[in-house]
Structure 1
């Protein structure tokens, strides 16, 4: 081929970066574009139940693969996706959002087309997306279109934020030179300014030489910006104790001998809180200090010796170094530490790690199941390579007290906290897992209330036979997290009860299993069943729980949130 259509060029570029599933919905302004998906060998159009779910699915896919794409139509489609795009922006997820827009001629004539506001303004939705996108392109010139596409894809990959590409319907079939595809997109980070990086590294080394009780604290952006290997190497060399935040869970190997627990401020296990807050040096990697990630901002460090590594700056105590990116900085620091022979302070003695217990106490098999028992016992069922998705609410808080095996990926949305996010994200993660390794299990924990917002995406799981998927529905009769914050008995926190075990047959699942557990004995037997642990069918497990039962850290967080909401 000497030429390819612009539409195919877009999908070929995505395929070069291992994006093989495209999420979204068809609409008349993107139909010609969607034809081009099928022209790229190995690429498929997933299709979704709605655009919001498509954005969630692309988010989940990316957290396994590093890049994802969703395609929507102009106006009605793109606006339906914006909640998911907003979440991706907040949580550093680099989606490529492609919008099929009306032809350039229609825009120039300001035609009163469907899906518009009726005022001839065809850029209004693009302007809305601009506020929650790292960069945007509203393409109007075929000669510059390939470069604009490459620029947006690069920014999504490197900066891990959503990007927006508006593609007019009349341009997708126009041809561009095929040899442009032979030059890979430059995905390298811009080098740090040498003098600034040298000053940063020397300052950190100075702190390390004088630290007697240092720790490492790993947060979400360590994973999002692909610095987990550097962090593990840092811990191996120094033997510093390492902690994660709720958002950072799975950002460090919890089977590592220096892993010491999850820090959530005042909501932490006592031994974790004591160890973190007594440190005289804290190396914080990829922090996103949201309320639910910090126990309503209840971090209480005793030291001012705080080093923050971020994707686009570094902060040491009160000094900020813009543009000193953590990946290159950590690599330089590691090289210096290796030269110095590991732990930089010769007097530093690694302390013993005291981990919070995750072993449940003995219980009669007929005991009613509780959150506390579930979240401790499930650790024994998890296995290496699992992808664990936890919904905002009791699941996101309960999972903190479980233990992840090595090479586990945790997906949650602690900062944005959009109820129902995980159902779509589970579909995206399951598709990515099937592409990489069909034996990897994708395990969802979602509340009965949250499920009702996005349940349609289970239909997509059935369509694509995501038989690697486990759907644990925690049935506690409504919005328990909201009841704990405010309105314990208010009817606005009630939901219409569903026949949850009928959902898979409703969506015509081919291979499925539907199970209900209500006692500790039933849960134990389920986790001990080897057949149940084999990912050979899609499974719905309804977990019956008392209405107001919740993890203890959620109960405490709810009280803090209610006080915050009442502040004048």
Structure 2
């Protein structure tokens, strides 16, 4: 039923936008309409959405008749060429995560290029990141006659790649005529920004320079969610208030991924400020609320949580869950102990009150009204004290760099507005329990978990951070993950971004060892000279980068205290030598639970 309601609402939104377009056309009917190329129409729409960088690779089908030239010649959008299409898709993902309220864009060529990018697009779909995938394809005549072209499968199935893309995109369009090009471009972009999912658009090379009316661009793309049914919304609010009263104000807020993805950070912060309810975050919701806020208590991930966090969340009489995404890694291997009878869930397109579901009641419009009701109810109430979790750097006799030491120590290095990116596994598990400074942004691909994602993503994140005037960009990546996507270090050097890259050198796939094959050779990797990578990948004279190796606590401390290093005015790589079998506490506990469940 919920999917049917959502489909109907999407159709209502589409028709509403079409009516707006018709109104503008009627208003301008007596005027001579300006014309614009299809390519420029698309780029103008992207400009309106705040896009200033596009990722991808050139190919004959997206260069013919100038599509690539239109992008490069655009005065307000920069072309960022990547080393391969997978990394380009990762970069578009990272860009969209940091440049909130915009979208990431990746451009590839037909067949070979788009298939290389599809894993990156799948990750964006899984984690609800708005990315537009533009594919340059053969001419409209060739698409109809299906000659034996290069980059095809050789069997005339020109639509095979589109069918593959349909599995990992929310909406797609294959432009075949200039007549409907503006409407189709608007449709897929509307789906992308309102549902925060990737979309797919093919552009035949003979349509690139075709002229279409520019007047459609006067109608802005709608960002607002569909309105909630007033009567149902009022009933839901009454039910929530009733449960809050029954709980005697013993209410805990739990924020998760969709708080970020669906743009309700401000609404949640207002709720926390006006109710003073304790707020915790799931791993995918890390930094959805400032981790320096007086009401913030830490990361909740079921059995893997710090005992103080686990106790407070699971003993609360009522959980107000906002934007939950209950995947295995995000819930501590499905060890949440929050019964539905104690839970209210707010989502982008529905609300759950205990066991009752209310389709079409979205959190974006519901939250301000709920805050108003709860603020009045709590007026004069005593504020609940929230123990603020603060990790302590351990005093270990051993001078080797352990995970127990590394993560709280680097936590002292972070600053406001830093963008901190952690590879799924060792790095992300190490950072979950480290409270980050105010206005910091945390990125990790916790649900999809594509190894090597962070390296490409950091490129996009760093470009977006530069555009937004944020702080430093700091990456934590394992040696195994880096070896999958290391080529993109060259693009970072070429584009002048200056991330700090900590490479955890523990001789292989640590997270895989924890799950299975602790002493197996298949979890080992080749030894690289990591401190030579930046030179090999483009900084030949050594002026744009600097590399370090730290083997013990003393050398790590000296580096983290070095003002020149902390300024991050050039790209820097730090090889951190660690024990092959050491792991963060939460990773050890999570892998133990996973292995126990798999054996049952």
TM range (shorter): over 0.9
Pick the aligned partner of 1:502 from 521, 529, 532: 532
Contact 1:378 1:402 in 2 (8 A): no
The question of 1:136 aligning with 2:155 is answered no
Number of aligned residue pairs: 560
Q: What stretches of structure 2 of length at least 5 have no aligned partner?
A: 1-32
Distance in 2 between residues matched to 1:360 and 1:141, nearest whole Å:
63
Q: TM-score, normalised by structure 2?
A: 0.91
Contact 1:74 1:115 in 2 (8 A): yes
Moved more, 394-403 or 518-527: 518-527
Secondary structure of the corresponding residue to residue 283 of structure 2: coil
Q: What stretches of structure 1 of length at least 5 have no aligned partner?
A: none
Secondary structure of the corresponding residue to residue 29 of structure 1: helix
Q: How big is the shift at 1:361?
A: 2.3
Structure 1, residues 455-488: CA drift from partner, whole Å, max 9, x if none? 0111110110112x10000011100111111001
Q: How big is the shift at 1:341?
A: 4.9
The runs of at least 4 consecutive aligned structure 1 residues that moved more than 4 Å come to none
Q: How big is the shift at 1:435?
A: 1.6
Moved more, 352-361 or 422-431: 352-361
Distance in 2 between residues matched to 1:275 and 1:303, nearest whole Å:
17
Q: How big is the shift at 1:115?
A: 1.0
Q: How big is the shift at 1:449?
A: 0.4
Secondary structure of the corresponding residue to residue 385 of structure 2: coil
Contact 2:298 2:435 in 1 (8 A): no
1:379 corresponds to which residue?
411
1:443 corresponds to which residue?
474
The question of 1:39 aligning with 2:66 is answered no
Pick the aligned partner of 2:494 from 456, 463, 477: 463
Contact 2:426 2:584 in 1 (8 A): yes
Contact 1:107 1:120 in 2 (8 A): no
Moved more, 203-212 or 42-51: 203-212
Distance in 1 between residues matched to 2:143 and 2:260, nearest whole Å:
41
1:88 corresponds to which residue?
124
Structure 1, residues 42-92: CA drift from partner, whole Å, max 9, x if none? 211101111111110000000111311101111111111111111111101
Contact 1:281 1:303 in 2 (8 A): no
The question of 1:546 aligning with 2:579 is answered yes
Q: How big is the shift at 1:302?
A: 5.6
Distance in 1 between residues matched to 2:511 and 2:351, nearest whole Å:
35
2:185 corresponds to which residue?
149
Secondary structure of the corresponding residue to residue 314 of structure 1: strand
Distance in 1 between residues matched to 2:237 and 2:497, nearest whole Å:
46
Moved more, 303-312 or 374-383: 303-312
2:12 corresponds to which residue?
none
Q: TM-score, normalised by structure 1?
A: 0.96
The question of 1:179 aligning with 2:215 is answered yes
Distance in 1 between residues matched to 2:450 and 2:566, nearest whole Å:
29
The question of 1:52 aligning with 2:89 is answered no
* Residues 247 and 489 of structure 1, relative CA distance in 2, 3 Å threshold: same
Structure 1, residues 95-118: CA drift from partner, whole Å, max 9, x if none? 011111111101111111111111
Q: How big is the shift at 1:195?
A: 1.5
Q: How big is the shift at 1:141?
A: 1.8
Contact 2:294 2:388 in 1 (8 A): no
Structure 1 residues 447-526: aligned runs within 5 Å: 447-467=478-498, 469-509=499-539, 510-526=543-559
The question of 1:237 aligning with 2:267 is answered no
2:62 corresponds to which residue?
30
